[in-house]
Structure 1
Amino acid sequence: MHIPTTRAMMKTFYLRLNQGESVLPGQAALLLSIFALAAYFYPSSDNSEVTTSEQDSVHLSKLLSKSALDVLDHSRRNTSGTLEDIQAYMLMSFTIFHLDGFSARGRMMTTAAIAISRDLILHRLDDVAVGKQTSIADLVDREVKRRVFWMLASSDWLASTISGPQEGMYFIHPNHINVRIPKNCDDDDLVAVLSEDRDPVVGPEPTGMSNFLERLRLAQLCREMFDILPLETSKLNEIPYENIIAFDQRIVDFISTLPVFFRLDAESRRQTKPMEAMYPNIPLLRYCITRAAYSRRCKLHQRFLLRKSTDPRYAYSRQACIESARAVISFYDGLAGDSSPVIVTAQMGIAVHFMHLALVVLVMDLCFNRGEADEALIKAEVRAGLQVFEDTKHISPLLGQFLSSLRHTLQKHKVYLNDPLAPTGKGFVSVDEGNSDTFNSSADDTMDFVQHEISGNGLDIALDPSFDEFWQTAMQSEPNLDLEAWDNLFSALDTRPL
């Protein structure tokens, strides 16, 4: 969005409401979707007139989400679609991903937005050159449409790299696009940049578009990677392993060429620490873009991780998987130390999930690649990760599921985290038997979007069962389970928010 334009639209919208005049459903849906997403992250407090607890914020987000979806449905049946409809569908997809995980309902929101964008011919936005006499308002509108289109395209391409029914497929083809990349500038500077028809001067500090453009760059890389690499493990094994290494290097290059304020290394974070006073979202955005890149690197190599135990030529894939997992875990520690309520809330939907995926990689490595030189270090890292979940499991039953599942898997494969000779639970960091109901329960209210207010209206958004299926199979299987079956189980885990 262009925030000044959206604020002006909001003022006009409420003026019409106050005067008893009709309003456009697309604009109503856009405002409701903004409020729904904002409510989820709202910093509740005892003195708040809106929400006094995180549960209140989630409940309010659900109510506003229901209203937004109702209005979008009305708009779909009564209009041909507008830019505001697309924006509302995209914001609702983000809201649903936070409330429900990477569900079919959230993906449907993105698909609907793409369909409307095609009807509005956004993919050919720049087929015709813009004349010099075009008004500033038209130039801003055109630039917003570029932002909207490229957000759709990047979301489409990134989703094609997430396990699920949509994996390996995208709707927006690069050969069908004639849309310029949006300007890298803040909204306050956009009018000046467009009126002078110049590229903005990008300095060392972030802009409101910095994360957007890096996300798009990663999405383009992921699309190119999955255009070439097959999904089936049998076909992937037929590709020269050097090609896998080449794609890995492209991901590494992407990470190393991120702007300094998004880089993960300690020196870059030290240099940009003063910026965080002016741009408080930098830590969260840094985590989002880096964990997105490292999770794709893990996914690239995970089908070779377990094969290291039978074929030493895959040692590089094991190293890449472990390095990526460690990067996610180490930065989670820094993010967890932030006292911002927004970041604490975001941990539930973003950081905790990806830390869990990283721990899965380390646990599987301990179970299958025995006797490695860094085994003791990995055990210490897993032990520290389990302690994080132990310390925070009171926040959500979902954390109890993560904790119990990892511990049970270690027990199943007789991996001892403390004393390798210990024959009993001591070395496992023992399972909390008193919390067994938590392990068997469904996700908490934060993730249970459908089964309360919205379920009665036919909007069935159910949690993807792949998480539970993965661990049930993992705990019931023998250690010599076929490697291809483990590949499928690994992929089943990767179905949470982008």
Structure 2
Amino acid sequence: MLDISRNLPPLRQAKQLFNHFATTLQPTFGVLHIPSTNLLMERTYEGLLEGDAPSAENLMLLFSIFAGAALVWTPQLLVKLQSTREEAKTAFQAYARLALDILDHPSRLIQASTTSLVAIGTMAHLLMNTDGFPFKVHLLRHRCLLMSREMQIHRLDTAKSCKERRLKGCNMIDVEVQRRIWWNMVASDWLLSFHGSAFEGAYTFHPRHMNVNLPSNTDDEFITSTGIQQDHPLSVPTSMSAFIMRVKCAALCREVIDTLPSILLDSTEPDYDTILALDAKFQDHLNELPVYFKTDPTSIEQSREICKNRPTIAWQRISIHFAIHTRLCRLHRPYHLEGITNTKYAYSHQVCIRSAQTILELRRSMDEIGLEVGLKAGRFLTVMHHVCFAALILAMDVSFNPSAPDAEHRKTKVLAAYQTLEKSKQESNYLLEGIQKNLQTLMSTLHKNDHTIHNSHESVLPSSSCGQSHSVTVQPSSTTVMNGLVDGGGALINDINEEGWEQLWSEFVAVAPELDVPQWSSLLEDVDFNPPLNIF
């Protein structure tokens, strides 16, 4: 492995990249044990000085970490490295490719180990946030699962395994990291099952097929090879608290999939009381969050000192609520439109609107807090996808209910959201295709319906299940505007300025009354189930 190790950065730069990963990406990932991983890096470099070839798994992990640091570069990091943003983007691609080449090389068999699992999991996490669940991510996750089973991690905390550890001894850092690896895979699987993708409605990990304790709620420095010195209740914030809350949210998503018939497999509508019961569980989850993860003003004030000592708590707090409110939108979306006219489903309409607005507000908060922790939300495709979905929910509601007292306020939120998505293209070239795909969803709908608007100056909102309708005045569309935004194939060809967004909104309001409920559902399904899929 000496040949590929020549691509490692100098030790000084390696330390800076490692520290940047530890303070930015690790709080959003939570799998690595930072002290022992730092020691692994130092020993790898010491071995190189002595002419020793590093192991393939050690190199793969280091390249994964360096790729992550390059992905979330900050101006401060670039100054330390005397580098540019273009060089950082190139470094991400190079380090990621090196890590993947090690994993895929036919003559370099990666041994099943905790280090290998962490390296594979790290690469999957990075690619998920750059390419939008590409095929490569799922291959990495599957390889991680197979290796975990080979190592019997799914039986990590059975009575037999615990007895063997007591009799034979073990490295408790490895045991704890294996718990993190396992639950990161499980949580990702369950969250994806109720996320809005081609994989929705099914999951891989069944709770009855595993016996693995949750990771300890403690900081890395209190986990040593001989044992775990502290394990706090969730009321005490640690570097693992957000990880554990992510698992709890994922468990709720799994329960939704178990309770509701899959929309891909069964057309039977669930009883609405079932939806309300699931909603109550999400609401209970919000209410039971530790005070430092709650977003009400009182809790934020009470947590001010905690966030001062642990700046990443504020970012984690936003991420937790982002995930929960996205799922609330998804849970109630099938009843959102009918809830406008049918009082039975009014609650679903209220929850959809409230959660969609919350998602957009959280996205704005990310920019401010991101400056403190070195993260930019515009670089994460999953964030962009949720924002696009929330904006469409609000846009749809305004178009169906234009006389609502807060319709103008919601319109402003929608315009701001799409302007944010447009600006996100400047943050990362990797997200360009994904952002354009979601922006084009709305534009293509306008383009396809353009001929209908030309022939109509007034239309009627399609009847709801209660037979009510509303008249809406439709102005002739601007063909020039549409031709400037979308070409014949629906491809985005120009960036949109503020005036362009206002014109696009006028087009949207004109077309929306022509869409019936099934067409709206189809539009949202396109956003839900067709996120950009690229092979890395």
- Please indicate, yes or no, whether the TM-score normalized by the shorter chain is above 0.5: yes
Residue 163 of structure 1 corresponds to which residue in structure 2? 196
Matches within 5 A, 1:105-144: 105-127=136-158, 128=160, 129-130=162-163, 132=166, 135=169, 138-144=171-177
Residue 178 of structure 1 corresponds to which residue in structure 2? 211
Quick one: distance in 2 between partners of 1:441 and 1:341?
34
Quick one: distance in 1 between partners of 2:224 and 2:268?
52
Residue 165 (structure 1) shift: 3.4
What letter corresponds to residue 440 of structure 1 in structure 2? Answer: A
Say yes or no: does 1:358 pair with 2:394: no
Residue 339 (structure 1) shift: 6.0
Residue 82 (structure 1) shift: 2.1
Quick one: distance in 2 between partners of 1:105 and 1:319?
38
What letter corresponds to residue 240 of structure 1 in structure 2? Answer: D
Matches within 5 A, 1:3-14: 3-14=34-45
1:153/1:204 Cα in 2 relative to 1: closer, same or farther (>3 Å)? Answer: closer
Quick one: distance in 2 between partners of 1:322 and 1:263?
20
Quick one: distance in 1 between partners of 2:339 and 2:200?
25
Residue 255 of structure 1 corresponds to which residue in structure 2? 286
Residue 126 of structure 2 corresponds to which residue in structure 1? 95
Matches within 5 A, 1:371-450: 371-372=403-404, 374-389=406-421, 395=427, 406=442, 423=475, 440-441=491-492
Residue 265 (structure 1) shift: 2.3
Say yes or no: does 1:54 pair with 2:85: yes
Quick one: distance in 1 between partners of 2:418 and 2:196?
25
8 A contact 2:335–2:349 mirrored in 1? yes
Quick one: distance in 2 between partners of 1:76 and 1:340?
44
Quick one: distance in 2 between partners of 1:337 and 1:496?
30
Output one character per residue of 1:181-218: Cα deviation in whole Å (capped at 9) or x when no partner: 2111001122399366xx62347552011111001111
Say yes or no: does 1:153 pair with 2:190: no
What letter corresponds to residue 366 of structure 1 in structure 2? Answer: V
Say yes or no: does 1:291 pair with 2:291: no
8 A contact 1:326–1:358 mirrored in 2? yes
1:296/1:339 Cα in 2 relative to 1: closer, same or farther (>3 Å)? Answer: closer
Report the more deviating stretch, 303-312 or 389-398.
Answer: 389-398
Quick one: distance in 2 between partners of 1:186 and 1:147?
13
Output one character per residue of 1:41-79: Cα deviation in whole Å (capped at 9) or x when no partner: 121459636464433322211110100001111389624
1:390/1:61 Cα in 2 relative to 1: closer, same or farther (>3 Å)? Answer: closer
Report the more deviating stretch, 255-264 or 228-237.
Answer: 228-237
Quick one: distance in 1 between partners of 2:198 and 2:64?
26
1:347/1:76 Cα in 2 relative to 1: closer, same or farther (>3 Å)? Answer: farther
Aligned to 1:78, what secondary structure does the other structure show?
coil
Residue 236 (structure 1) shift: 5.8
Residue 422 (structure 1) shift: 8.7
The higher radius of gyration belongs to: 2
What letter corresponds to residue 86 of structure 1 in structure 2? Answer: L
Residue 11 of structure 2 corresponds to which residue in structure 1? none
1:257/1:76 Cα in 2 relative to 1: closer, same or farther (>3 Å)? Answer: farther
Report the more deviating stretch, 479-488 or 170-179.
Answer: 479-488
1:496/1:308 Cα in 2 relative to 1: closer, same or farther (>3 Å)? Answer: farther
Output one character per residue of 1:75-113: Cα deviation in whole Å (capped at 9) or x when no partner: 896245222221111111111122211222112211111
Residue 478 (structure 1) shift: 5.0
Residue 179 (structure 1) shift: 1.2
TM-score (norm 2): 0.74
8 A contact 1:301–1:318 mirrored in 2? yes
Which runs of 5 or more residues in structure 2 are unaligned? 1-31, 460-471, 496-507
Output one character per residue of 1:206-232: Cα deviation in whole Å (capped at 9) or x when no partner: 201111100111111111210121222
8 A contact 2:74–2:374 mirrored in 1? no
Report the more deviating stretch, 77-86 or 91-100.
Answer: 77-86
Name the count of aligned residue pairs: 459
RMSD: 3.9
8 A contact 2:72–2:375 mirrored in 1? no
1:65/1:394 Cα in 2 relative to 1: closer, same or farther (>3 Å)? Answer: closer
1:283/1:53 Cα in 2 relative to 1: closer, same or farther (>3 Å)? Answer: farther
| Residue 329 of structure 1, aligned match among 356, 360, 372 | 360
What letter corresponds to residue 171 of structure 1 in structure 2? Answer: T
1:302/1:490 Cα in 2 relative to 1: closer, same or farther (>3 Å)? Answer: farther
Output one character per residue of 1:99-144: Cα deviation in whole Å (capped at 9) or x when no partner: 2112221122111111110111100012222455665x62222122
Quick one: distance in 2 between partners of 1:98 and 1:443?
25
Residue 501 of structure 2 corresponds to which residue in structure 1? none
Residue 467 of structure 1 corresponds to which residue in structure 2? none
Residue 367 of structure 1 corresponds to which residue in structure 2? 399
Residue 308 (structure 1) shift: 3.2
8 A contact 1:301–1:317 mirrored in 2? yes
Residue 22 (structure 1) shift: 2.8
Residue 336 of structure 2 corresponds to which residue in structure 1? 305
| Residue 516 of structure 2, aligned match among 480, 483, 498 | 480
What letter corresponds to residue 180 of structure 2 in structure 1? Answer: R
Quick one: distance in 2 between partners of 1:18 and 1:310?
73
8 A contact 2:173–2:225 mirrored in 1? no
8 A contact 2:485–2:493 mirrored in 1? no
1:205/1:170 Cα in 2 relative to 1: closer, same or farther (>3 Å)? Answer: same
What letter corresponds to residue 356 of structure 1 in structure 2? Answer: C
Say yes or no: does 1:315 pair with 2:351: no
Residue 489 of structure 1 corresponds to which residue in structure 2? 526
Quick one: distance in 2 between partners of 1:491 and 1:258?
27
Residue 257 of structure 2 corresponds to which residue in structure 1? 226
Which runs of 5 or more residues in structure 1 are unaligned? 445-471
What letter corresponds to residue 55 of structure 2 in structure 1? Answer: L
TM-score (norm 1): 0.80
1:207/1:76 Cα in 2 relative to 1: closer, same or farther (>3 Å)? Answer: farther
Quick one: distance in 2 between partners of 1:475 and 1:115?
49
8 A contact 1:154–1:215 mirrored in 2? yes
Residue 289 (structure 1) shift: 1.4
Residue 453 of structure 1 corresponds to which residue in structure 2? none
1:372/1:496 Cα in 2 relative to 1: closer, same or farther (>3 Å)? Answer: farther
8 A contact 2:172–2:226 mirrored in 1? no
Output one character per residue of 1:337-379: Cα deviation in whole Å (capped at 9) or x when no partner: 2462865533331544322221011112223455545434322
What letter corresponds to residue 354 of structure 2 in structure 1? Answer: E
Residue 463 of structure 1 corresponds to which residue in structure 2? none
Aligned to 1:112, what secondary structure does the other structure show?
helix
Say yes or no: does 1:273 pair with 2:304: yes
Aligned to 1:337, what secondary structure does the other structure show?
helix
